[in-house]
């Protein structure tokens, strides 16, 4: 998969990233595994020595209402796979 690895705290709103389900469960067992493309909705925020990244799913459909939203809280040194960037929309209205 094409993309670049970047530290999570360097992400910006509009970055399209690959989000994967994972957890720190001691048993390591998981009933559901998933991954999806998502768009970062806000700049990452520090939270108790970690960083929180807000995202919205279904990044492949610009202009659509996201079906899934979430927050990933990760270590400061963790990296994300940035696979693109959504186009910036103009705020000026056409007459």
Q: Phi and psi of 89, rounded to 5°?
A: -90, 145
Domains and CATH numbers, the chain: 4-85 (2.30.30)
- H or E segment at 55? strand 50-57
Is the CB of residue 15 less than 8 Å from the CB of residue 72?
no
User: What mean pLDDT comes out for the span 71-87?
Assistant: 87
pTM over 0.75: no
pLDDT of residue 19: 82
Identify the residue whose tokens are 């610009």.
Answer: 62
- Per-residue model confidence as pLDDT tens digits over 16-72: 998 876 655 566 666 566 777 888 989 999 999 999 999 887 645 556 565 668 888
Whole-number pLDDT of residue 86? 83
CB 41 within 8 A of CB 52: no
């Amino acid at each position: 998969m094409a993309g670049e690895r970047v530290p999570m705290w360097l992400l910006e709103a509009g970055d399209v990233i690959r989000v994967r389900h994972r957890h720190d469960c001691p048993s390591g067992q998981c009933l559901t595994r998933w991954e999806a493309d998502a768009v970062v909705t806000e700049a990452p925020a520090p939270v108790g020595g970690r960083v929180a990244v807000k995202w919205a799913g279904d990044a492949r459909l610009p202009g659509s209402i996201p079906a899934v939203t979430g927050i990933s809280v990760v270590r400061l040194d963790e990296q994300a796979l940035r696979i693109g960037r959504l186009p910036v929309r103009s705020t000026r209205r056409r007459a």
